[in-house]
Each structure stands twice: as structure tokens, then as C-alpha cells.
Amino acid sequence: MRPEELLFAENKREEIYEMRPDYPYAVRRFDVDLSGTMIAPWHWHEEMELLLVKADGLNYDMMGECLMLKKGDVLFVNSNTLHQVYASDAGKHIRYDVHMFRGSLIADPDSLIEKNYVRPLQQMQTAKWILLKNGEADHWKVLKCLEQLSELEQKRSYGYELYSRNLLSEILLYLLDRKRNETKNESRETVGREMENEMRLRKMLLYIQEYYGEHLSLADLAKAANIGERECLRCFQKTLHTSPFRYLQEYRIQAASNRLKNSELKIVDIALQCGFSSASYFGKVFHREMGCTPQEYRKQKSI
């Protein structure tokens, strides 16, 4: 799979198009040379995510924390957690597998298992993400389960769905047991501030997603979240470690990349649709971010 194959809905949720409603589990395998660094801009999805890194150089930004992942690391990303994915350097060869599944695969909504195990994990503020570094205690337990899951998914022998659900349940139980004691020490005030900050940020990201093709000002973004301009800047910097306009520019480049690959629109039209004032300025920014011109990028993707 390539980064530009990822689909994002209008509410910034990623659409997991391989996911079957009657079996909400999918495995994505990335093994690709990047032209730039961005793999997936800030987004969230209902599905929980288990990532196995197979080569150095993969970074996950997790709402104020930058995780520089190494080969063999395992990362759990909880349901509806805001995150972005990118490579450490342009032109990097990336390799990783992502196991994505919904809580409904493990247990029906409002069932005893869902209320006692799935829901508590999904609602834990300390479990928005959990990193198991290669070589640390108990890392091997989760790694073994993921390897078995990959084998089951590839072979798809009779009964693989049940075996897969059992393995995912085993991983979730381990993660819940690992994190549940930390929840007791959470400050309600701290949790409340973090949730408020995240909700403000989501409103502004949704606004950018809807109006990125137009001229946007700092006042526009602040108004979308009902906050002042200074608070808007603080919110982006504290949580995403970037400015609103840096994020906007990255989003516009991602949108333009998708159009270059999936449409036959003229480059000047793509530039204007994605909020750039001219084709020449678009070309300059695109080359800086992606390491090639829009024409070169389109040619590469058509091969």
C-alpha cells in the first residue's frame, strides 16, 4: 500500500475501505519508497490500531508526543485518537504492518465483555497510545500475537476469523491490565483540559479540511473553535508542534498529491483548487515538501 491510497472522509476520519462491516478487521502492509516525508496527515478513525515496525525511520505524532519508532517496535493507537504519520527523512524506504479493528469485533456493544474490557480501554486517557519497544519486558508476547495474526490473514484457512479475534482479545487484555493502574492516578482537571484542547483542535482541523481551497486567516480558524487568535496559535503549537498555517500548507500539498495521482486535471487547476495563489508558487512549495515537481510526481505515480 502507498500513502496516497489512504482515504479521508469529510470529518477527517480515515475511511478504512478494506474493512468489512460483518468482520471489522483489516491488515495493511506498507513497503514503499517515499518521495517526501508525509504518509498520513493528522486524522482519526474509529478503529483501534496495532502497528509493527519493520524498518527504522517511521515517526508517529500523538497529540503532543513525537514517537520515533525503530525496527521491531509495536505501537497501539486507540480508537478516535488524533495522530499523523511521516518518515524521518525524504526518500526513506518504509516498512510496517498495521492491524486495524473495531471494538465490535471483540464483543457486541453493551455486552459484559464490551463494558468490562473494550470500553474501559477505549476511554482511558492514559491509553490513547501505548508503545512497546523492541526488547522490553513482555514485548515478545504482543509481537508473537501479531506475527500469528499476519500468518492467519495471509493463509485465511478455515476458522482464521475466530483465531484472529482470540489473538486480538489477548492483546487488548494485556494492554488493559498494563494501563489500568495508571488511570487511578489521573487528575480530572488535567484530563478535562486535554479533552477540551483536543475538541477545539478537531473543530479547526475540520474547518481546514472543508475550506482549504479558499483564503484562510488566523481569525477564521479561531472563530471555528470559538477561541481567540492567540489561543488558536497556542493550541496548534502545544498539541501538534506546528503553526496553523504550516499545517494548512501540508494539508494542501496532501490534497494536491491525491489530485495529481487520481485525476487528469491541469496542474494550474489543481493549484488553484487546493488554495495556492499560482501554479509557480504551488510548484515551489510542492518541490520543497515532496522532493520533486508536480509533473515529476504525476509521472512517477502513472508508472
Strand order in the sheet with 74-77: 25-33, 93-101, 48-53, 74-77, 129-132
190: confidence class by pLDDT, cuts 50, 70, 90: low
Instruction: Give CATH for domain 3-183.
Output: 2.60.120.280
3-state SS class at 271? helix
Residues in the chain, overall count: 303
pLDDT score for 3 = 46
**pTM of this structure:** 0.78
pLDDT score for 88 = 87
Better-predicted residue by pLDDT, 9 or 63: 63
What nine digits make up the cell of 26? 483489516
Yes or no: say if 98 and 71 are a contact pair by the CB < 8 Å rule: no
Residue 34: CB partners within 8 Å, gap ≥ 6? 3, 87, 90, 91, 92, 93, 94
> Quick one: average pLDDT of 19-48?
87
pLDDT score for 14 = 53
- Domain locations in the chain? 3-183, 189-302
Query: Is the per-residue pLDDT at 19 higher than 90?
Result: no
| Sheet strands (E) in the chain | 7-8, 14-15, 25-33, 38-43, 48-53, 58-61, 66-69, 74-77, 83-87, 93-101, 129-132
3-state SS class at 31? strand
Query: Is the per-residue pLDDT at 185 higher than 80?
Result: no
Smallest CA-to-CA distance from 176 within 120, 104, 133, 125 is with 120
Yes or no: say if 182 and 130 are a contact pair by the CB < 8 Å rule: no
Residue 239: CB partners within 8 Å, gap ≥ 6? 63, 64, 197, 198, 201
d(CA 50, CA 26): 11
Smallest CA-to-CA distance from 213 within 281, 268, 271 is with 271
Query: Is the per-residue pLDDT at 142 higher than 60?
Result: yes
Percentage helix, strand, coil, to 5, in the chain?
50, 20, 30
What nine digits make up the cell of 125? 486517557
Superfamily for 189-302? Homeodomain-like (1.10.10.60)
Query: Is the per-residue pLDDT at 6 higher than 90?
Result: no
Query: Is the per-residue pLDDT at 266 higher than 60?
Result: yes
Query: Is the per-residue pLDDT at 15 higher than 60?
Result: no
What nine digits make up the cell of 14? 480515515
